[in-house]
Amino acid sequence: AQKITQTQPGMFVQEKEAVTLDCTYDTSDPSYGLFWYKQPSSGEMIFLIYQGSYDQQNATEGRYSLNFQKARKSANLVISASQLGDSAMYFCAMREVSGNQFYFGTGTSLTVIP
Amino acid sequence: DVKVTQSSRYLVKRTGEKVFLECVQDMDHENMFWYRQDPGLGLRLIYFSYDVKMKEKGDIPEGYSVSREKKERFSLILESASTNQTSMYLCASSLGGYNSPLHFGNGTRLTVT
């Protein structure tokens, strides 16, 4: 079974609007971390935000927030007030307490329309 | 800030050549990783290392080997390059622990002709 599932291959959003990128995960570990990365067309992978499995509050970093629903095993990324520079691939990832590996989804391509 | 440096941004090699991709990190991270990224397939783990001289196979180790003689340096070796190894290669490092993020280098786009 896939550890990380991103079901939206491509998304479009109007500039200044908010957008939600979906991510569901599968683990039986009691402790795990969830991460989101941005990959612009230049290719570098940029770490955006982290959510721990025991965190009571949703993580926020500037315009990025993580909608964490533990019972549903979902960790959706919300980008508020979209900017043209937000156009990129976005990857969701998970790391379990039981190992060193990171598991990545296949990514969502976000295009911000002026 | 963590800096992960990959030795080449673009590389063109011929089929059958031995290819070395070098990666250096400056934050004393225990864990280092090599990924391959292809369109539609996402990131696939080739090898990772959790300590000097230690390595573990990832999802697609065939045709690759790695070397970690010093903590800061993790090398990916293509013993005999083939055209199906044309890809983007990403190196990353992290501390141990499930709450530590990966820090990536800028990637090496390898073309094997």
Q: How far A32 CA lies from chain B's nearest CA (Å)? A: 6
State residue A101's pLDDT score.
Answer: 86
Alpha helices in chain B (DSSP H): none
| pLDDT value at residue B42 | 86
Read off the pLDDT band of B98 (50, 70, 90).
confident
Adjacent-strand bridge partners of A21: A77
Q: Among A27, A14, A17, which residue's Cα sits nearest to residue A101?
A: A27
Residue A27 has pLDDT above 70, yes or no: yes
Average pLDDT, chain A: 95
| Interacting residues of B15 by C-beta distance below 8 A, sequence separation 6+ | B81, B82, B83, B112, B113
Q: Which residues of A touch B (CB under 8 A)?
A: 29, 31-33, 35, 37, 43-47, 50, 52-53, 91, 93, 95-97, 100-102, 104-107
As a whole number of angstroms, the longest Cα–Cα distance in chain A is 44
Lookup result for tokens 């991709």: B21
Chain A contact present for B41, CB below 8 A: yes
φ, ψ of residue B85 to 5 degrees: the values are -100, 5
Say if residue A1's pLDDT is above 80.
no
| pLDDT at B93 > cutoff 90 | yes
Closest CA of chain B from A80, distance in Å? 23
Q: What is the pLDDT of residues A45-74, one digit of tens each?
A: 999 999 999 999 999 999 999 999 999 999
Q: How many residues does chain B have?
A: 113
For residues A51 and A68, the answer to whether their CB atoms sit within 8 Å is: yes
- The token duo for A40 is 């612009």
Over the Cα atoms of chain B, what is R_g?
Answer: 13
pLDDT for residue B90: 97
Interface test with B, best of A45, A61, A92 (most B CBs within 10 A): A45
- Report CA-CA distances (Å) from B59 to A9, A70, A71, B62: 22, 27, 29, 9
Chain B residues with beta carbon closer than 8 angstroms to that of A96: 98
Of the candidates A32, A44, A104, which has its C-beta nearest B98's C-beta? A32
> Closest residue of A to B9, CA-based?
A43
In the predicted structure, residue B2 carries a pLDDT above the cut 70 = no
The overall average pLDDT reported for chain B is 94
Tell me the pLDDT tens digit for each residue of A80-112: 999 999 999 999 999 998 878 899 999 999 999
Helices (H) and strands (E) in chain B, counts: 0, 12
Question: How big is chain A, counted in residues?
Answer: 114
pLDDT above 70: residue B9: yes
In angstroms, rounded to a whole number, what is the distance separating the alpha carbons of residues A49 and B63? 34
A110 to chain B, closest Cα gap in Å = 15
